[in-house]
């Protein structure tokens, strides 16, 4: 059985950068806190905990010397202000590509446009974009969210996209918006690492008998890779560790492709590849 691992599988540039910043901060003599998990992956979360980084819900006041680490997908401006007031030193590990989305959204707002965000309403990155704006933007997660009611009185709008959205879905939403909004400026802010991953998630299922997507079940970008691959090859399976692999999946398979979400560590990909090799012996 030939195993091919997608070149883009695993950590993206922004996650690698954020983890390096986090570990460097943890090595200092201050206590380091983070709002929520650094990424949606249990192995990485455990690693951060072992390095001494603590997870909190909100920055509370205290006399100790503390640092608040902002995660790769950014945060609302209010949260940073609040943390500074509470005495935290801020270390900002927001991905530069997410910062660019913040800047674009603010420019669209200054240009007198209603900002529309295409993304998952509950995702931290989307909340972070919302938190940069003066007026409440419209958030659209799927074409079915577009209705006369949501777009009432909008004649001039600007669209930004959560960095990890699926491009085909985004284009469907934008065409529907164009039919309803006279003056629409569209900025495609899906990041390049996501584009490359999704492109590979479309070729792997065609070139392989089986595709294995590695990543946590809580990772939205891993889920998207799984959905793209599964729509092209029914023998696509989503695992978090080698223990999730089933021998029956590989029956008569000669080629297996592996990809992994942006929050999946290299060690998990290696372990799963090893698990597949053992199954095929
Ligand atoms: S998915 Fe893209 S925007 Fe998000 S952290 Fe990675 S590189 Fe940055």
Average pLDDT over residues 99-127: 96
Which is catalytic among the residues 64, 125, 167, 274?
125
pLDDT by residue (tens digit) across 51-104? 999 998 887 766 677 899 999 999 999 999 999 988 899 999 999 999 999 999
Fold of the 13-94 domain: Rossmann fold (3.40.50)
- The b/e string for 208-245 (b: 16+ C-beta within 10 A; e otherwise) is bbbbbbbbbeebbbbbbbbebbbeebebbbbbbebeeb
Position with higher pLDDT, 145 vs 6: 6
Contacts 24+ apart (CB under 8 A), 241-245: 241/268, 241/271, 241/272, 242/271, 242/272, 242/274, 242/275, 242/278, 243/275, 245/212, 245/272, 245/275, 245/276, 245/279
What does the alpha-carbon distance between residue 173 and residue 25 come to, in Å, rounded to a whole number?
Answer: 40
Q: Report the DSSP beta bridge partners of residue 4.
A: 257
39 lines ligand 1 (CB under 6 A): no
Atom of ligand 1 nearest to the CA of 164: 1
CA 94–ligand 1 middle distance (angstroms): 9
Q: Is the CB of 194 under 6 A from ligand 1?
A: yes
Cα of 191 vs centre of ligand 1, distance in Å, is: 6
Contact by Cβ (8 Å): 162, 120: yes
Partners of residue 142 on adjacent β-strands: none
CATH architecture of 97-186: 3-Layer(aba) Sandwich (3.40)
Distance 17 CA to ligand 1 centre (A): 10
DSSP designation for 242: G
pLDDT tens digit string along 240-261? 999 999 999 999 999 999 999 9
Tell me the CATH number for domain 2-10+192-280: 3.40.1010.20
- In CATH terms, are 2-10+192-280 and 97-186 the same topology? yes
| Rounded Cα distance, 255 and 205, in Å | 10
**Global confidence as pTM:** 0.91
Instruction: Supply 5's token pair.
Output: 């691992």
Q: Where do the domains of the chain lie?
A: 2-10+192-280, 13-94, 97-186
pLDDT at 64: 73
Residue 167 bears catalytic tag: no
């Amino acid at each position: 059985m030939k195993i091919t691992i997608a070149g883009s599988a695993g950590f993206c540039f922004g996650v690698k950068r954020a983890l390096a910043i986090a570990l460097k901060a943890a090595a200092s003599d201050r206590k380091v806190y983070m709002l929520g998990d650094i990424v949606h992956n249990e192995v990485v979360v455990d690693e951060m905990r072992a390095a001494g980084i603590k997870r909190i819900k909100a920055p509370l006041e205290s006399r100790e010397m503390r640092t608040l680490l902002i995660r790769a997908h950014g945060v609302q401006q209010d949260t940073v202000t609040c943390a500074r007031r509470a005495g935290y030193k801020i270390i900002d590990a927001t991905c530069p590509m997410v910062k660019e989305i913040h800047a674009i959204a603010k420019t669209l707002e200054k240009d007198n446009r209603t900002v529309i965000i295409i993304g998952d309403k509950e995702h931290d990155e989307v909340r972070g974009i919302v938190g940069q704006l003066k007026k409440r933007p419209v958030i659209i997660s799927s074409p079915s969210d577009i209705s006369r009611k949501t777009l009432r009185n909008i004649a001039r709008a600007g669209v930004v996209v959560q960095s990890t959205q699926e491009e085909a879905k985004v284009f469907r939403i934008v065409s529907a918006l164009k039919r309803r909004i006279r003056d629409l400026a569209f900025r495609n802010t899906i990041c390049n690492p996501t584009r490359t991953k999704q492109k590979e998630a479309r070729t792997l299922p065609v070139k392989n008998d089986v595709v294995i997507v590695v990543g946590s079940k809580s990772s939205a970008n891993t889920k998207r890779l799984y959905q793209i691959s599964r729509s092209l090859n029914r023998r696509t399976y989503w695992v978090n560790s080698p223990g999730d692999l089933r021998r029956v999946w590989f029956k008569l398979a000669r080629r297996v492709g592996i990809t992994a979400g942006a929050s999946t560590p290299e060690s998990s990909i290696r372990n799963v590849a090893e698990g597949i090799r053992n199954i095929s012996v």
